[in-house]
C-alpha cells in the first residue's frame, strides 16, 4: 500500500517520532497444480497478536489509543484521512508490535481512485467525531478534525481578496481606489506652475511701468 510507505518515510525524518509502523507485504503465489491456483503468502509474525483498530458487528469503528503503537495507528488513520482530503479511511489495523497486517479501508464515495469498495460516509463521519489527536498527530502537524476545535480558534476579519489580505489592506482602502481618488496628475494640475508665476510677475512689472505718468519739471525763472 503506497500510503503506508509514504507515512513511514515522513515519520523517519520527524524528530522524536521514534519507530514507525511497518506494513507486512502480502505476496501472491501461483500454483498451477492445485485446484485453486492462486494463494496469498505473508511473513509469519511471532508474538502477541493485537487488533489496534477494527469494526464491530454493529458496524461501529473501534480504535484503541493506550500504547505507543495504538497512538501511532490512530495518527496513521488521521494522516491518511487528511492526505486524501477525507475520501479514504483505514478501518482495520492489527498485527504484532509495530508490524501491521490485515489492513482494511473504506472510501467516502464508490470508485475513489479506482477502488471498488462501496462508499461509507457514515463511518468517516464517526471517525471525525470520536478521534482524539495525540502527541504524534502534533508531530505530523495534522489539522484538528472536530468542528468545535476549529471554531474555538480566534478568527481574524480579513478582506475577501487573498492578495489584499496578504498586503494588510482592507477592502475599503484598495490601492486602485487610492490611485483613482488622488491621482498624481490631479495634484500637479492643482498646483500653480513656476513658469506661469514667472510670466505673471513679468507682466505685472511691465504694467506698473506703463501706469506711471511722467512728471514735468518746471523751468527755472530768471530774475531781471
Which one, of 84, 101, 75, 76, lies nearest residue 23 by Cα?
101
Per-residue pLDDT of the chain (224 residues; tens, 9 = 90+): 678 889 989 999 998 999 999 988 888 999 999 899 999 888 889 999 999 999 888 888 999 888 999 999 999 999 999 999 888 899 999 999 999 998 988 888 765 655 656 667 888 999 999 999 999 999 999 999 876 555 444 443 433 333 334 444 444 444 444 444 555 455 455 555 555 445 444 544 444 444 555 555 555 555 54
Q: Tell me, yes or no, whether 197 lies in a domain.
A: no
Distance linking the first and last C-alpha atoms of the chain: 142
Rounded distance, CA 98 to CA 89, Å? 19
As beta bridge partners, residue 104 has 92
Dihedral sign, Cα of residue 121, residue 124, residue 145, residue 23: negative
Q: Tell me, yes or no, whether 72 lies in a domain.
A: yes
- Residues in Cβ contact with 27 at an 8 Å cutoff, skipping those fewer than 6 apart: 40, 41, 42
Q: Tell me, yes or no, whether 56 lies in a domain.
A: yes
pTM for this model (two decimals)? 0.61
Angle at 23 between CA 135 and CA 34, to 5 degrees: 160
Residue 25: per-residue pLDDT: 85
Q: Tell me, yes or no, whether 151 lies in a domain.
A: no
Q: Tell me, yes or no, whether 223 lies in a domain.
A: no
Structural domains of the chain, count: 1
Q: Tell me, yes or no, whether 51 lies in a domain.
A: yes
Q: Tell me, yes or no, whether 179 lies in a domain.
A: no
Domain that holds residue 50: 2-140
Residue 127: per-residue pLDDT: 93
Reading the block at residue 41, the C-alpha cell is: 503468502
How far from the centroid of its chain's Cα atoms is residue 104's Cα? Answer: 29
Q: Tell me, yes or no, whether 27 lies in a domain.
A: yes
Residue 121: per-residue pLDDT: 82
Rounded distance, CA 98 to CA 86, Å? 25
The enclosing domain of 116 has a CATH number of 3.20.200.10
Amino acid at each position: 500500500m503506497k500510503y503506508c510507505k509514504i507515512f513511514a518515510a515522513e515519520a523517519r525524518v520527524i524528530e522524536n517520532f521514534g519507530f514507525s509502523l511497518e506494513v507486512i507485504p502480502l505476496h501472491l503465489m501461483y500454483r498451477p497444480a492445485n485446484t485453486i491456483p492462486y494463494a496469498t503468502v505473508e511473513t509469519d509474525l511471532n508474538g502477541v497478536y493485537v487488533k489496534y483498530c477494527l469494526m464491530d458487528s454493529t458496524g461501529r469503528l473501534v480504535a484503541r489509543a493506550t500504547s505507543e503503537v495504538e497512538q501511532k495507528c490512530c495518527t496513521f488513520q488521521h494522516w491518511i484521512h487528511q492526505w486524501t482530503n477525507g475520501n479514504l479511511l483505514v478501518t482495520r489495523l492489527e498485527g504484532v508490535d509495530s508490524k501491521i497486517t490485515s489492513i482494511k479501508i473504506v472510501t467516502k464515495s464508490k470508485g475513489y481512485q479506482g477502488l471498488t469498495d462501496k462508499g461509507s460516509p457514515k463511518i468517516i463521519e464517526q471517525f471525525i467525531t470520536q478521534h482524539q489527536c495525540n502527541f504524534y498527530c502534533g508531530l505530523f502537524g495534522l489539522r484538528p478534525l472536530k468542528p468545535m476545535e476549529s471554531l474555538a480558534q480566534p478568527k481574524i476579519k480579513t478582506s475577501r481578496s487573498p492578495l489584499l489580505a496578504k498586503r494588510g489592506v482592507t477592502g475599503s482602502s484598495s490601492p486602485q481606489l487610492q490611485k483613482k481618488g488622488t491621482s498624481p496628475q490631479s495634484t500637479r494640475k492643482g498646483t500653480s506652475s513656476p513658469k506661469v508665476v514667472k510670466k505673471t510677475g513679468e507682466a505685472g512689472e511691465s504694467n506698473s511701468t506703463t501706469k506711471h505718468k511722467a512728471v514735468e519739471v518746471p523751468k527755472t525763472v530768471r530774475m531781471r
